[in-house]
């Protein structure tokens, strides 16, 4: 059975240090429930309660489940692996101990921290990528983290490709998947990031169906992505202009995505993510539209 969740990033709750004020978790969860969602991703460590009993209480009283938790790690630097693994295991144990035993750790690069990739999000070139040795270190860190999370907390890990990080383009995603253990690490396919990074999400299903364990529904405005490239916006400027628009208003072919999900008999979570900056837009209204749009696809 497919269930639909949203994520704090749709309310401007992001892992970056940015201007503006985002709402607290009580408002975010209450508005998700009011709109009709049945789950939420965790958000950054400390956004929701970090005591398992307290987190369980907040989630259960709304009838929610947490399908995943985003953990960014600067994987190309071996010296960062240990701290990143510790955070991932700590987060996984919180999810497990609060009753969210089927949740994923959503591993990502430390997106937005690499100036060249952040400045050129949506238009990176191979020359801006990792060296052969850096790929080796990156993949080793991802494998070790996923194995530690499974061994110590019993949860699985998926990798989140992301613009403004080192795994953005379809070729970079393919390289990562070829370099990592398919039994340890899956892929969360984020439709909007895949398209902004130069790919077709429908083709991604056909290329990587066996590794896609989790999905994020995000749309991408073709017009704003083109403006980002022509006017050389950085990642945050693109987000500020609304490159990740409401579902059905961008270039992602969601009816075709729905057909792919049905063909692969997908029975996990769909997590809606419409990334906005703190204080930007009308998150609850957008969340309502996005859920209503998904119902037209026959997935909820």
The structure's pTM equals 0.95
Given a cut of 50, the residues of the chain with pLDDT beneath it are none
Strand, helix or coil for residue 188: strand
Please give the pLDDT value at position 12: 83
CA distance 27 to 33: 10
Kind and range of the H or E element at 63? none
Angle at 45 between CA 44 and CA 51, to 5 degrees: 140
Ordered by where they begin, the domains of the chain are 3-295 (3.20.20.150)
- How many Cβ atoms are within 10 Å of 268's Cβ, its own excluded? 18
What number of residues does the chain have?
300
pLDDT in the model for residue 130: 97
In angstroms, how far is the first alpha carbon of the chain from the final one?
A: 9
Helices (H) and strands (E) in the chain, counts: 12, 7
């Amino acid at each position: 059975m497919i269930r639909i969740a949203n994520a704090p990033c749709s309310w401007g709750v992001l892992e970056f240090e940015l201007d503006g004020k985002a709402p607290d978790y009580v408002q975010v969860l209450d508005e998700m429930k009011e709109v009709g969602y049945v789950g939420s991703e965790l958000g950054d460590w400390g956004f929701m309660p970090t005591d398992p009993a307290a987190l369980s209480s907040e989630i259960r009283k709304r009838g929610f489940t947490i399908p995943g938790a985003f953990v960014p790690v600067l994987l190309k630097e071996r010296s960062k692996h240990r701290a990143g693994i510790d955070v991932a295991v700590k987060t996984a144990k919180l999810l497990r101990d609060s009753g969210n035993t089927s949740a994923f750790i959503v591993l990502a690069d430390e997106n937005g921290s690499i100036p060249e990739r952040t400045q050129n999000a949506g238009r990176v070139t191979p020359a801006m990528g990792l060296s052969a040795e850096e790929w080796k270190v990156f993949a080793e860190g991802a494998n070790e983290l996923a194995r530690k999370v499974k061994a110590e907390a019993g949860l699985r890990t998926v990798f989140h490709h992301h613009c403004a990080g080192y795994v953005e383009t379809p070729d970079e995603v393919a390289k990562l998947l070829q370099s990592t253990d398919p039994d340890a690490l899956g892929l969360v396919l984020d439709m909007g990031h895949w398209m902004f990074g130069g790919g077709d999400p429908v083709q991604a299903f056909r290329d990587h169906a066996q590794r896609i364990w989790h999905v994020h529904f995000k749309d991408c405005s073709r017009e704003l992505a083109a403006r980002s490239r022509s006017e050389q916006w950085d990642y945050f400027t693109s987000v500020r202009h609304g490159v990740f628009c409401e579902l059905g208003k961008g270039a992602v072919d969601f009816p075709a995505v729905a057909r792919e999900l049905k063909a692969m008999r997908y029975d996990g979570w769909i997590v809606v993510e419409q990334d906005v900056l703190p204080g930007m837009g009308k998150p609850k209204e957008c969340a309502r539209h996005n859920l209503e749009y998904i119902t037209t696809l026959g997935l909820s």
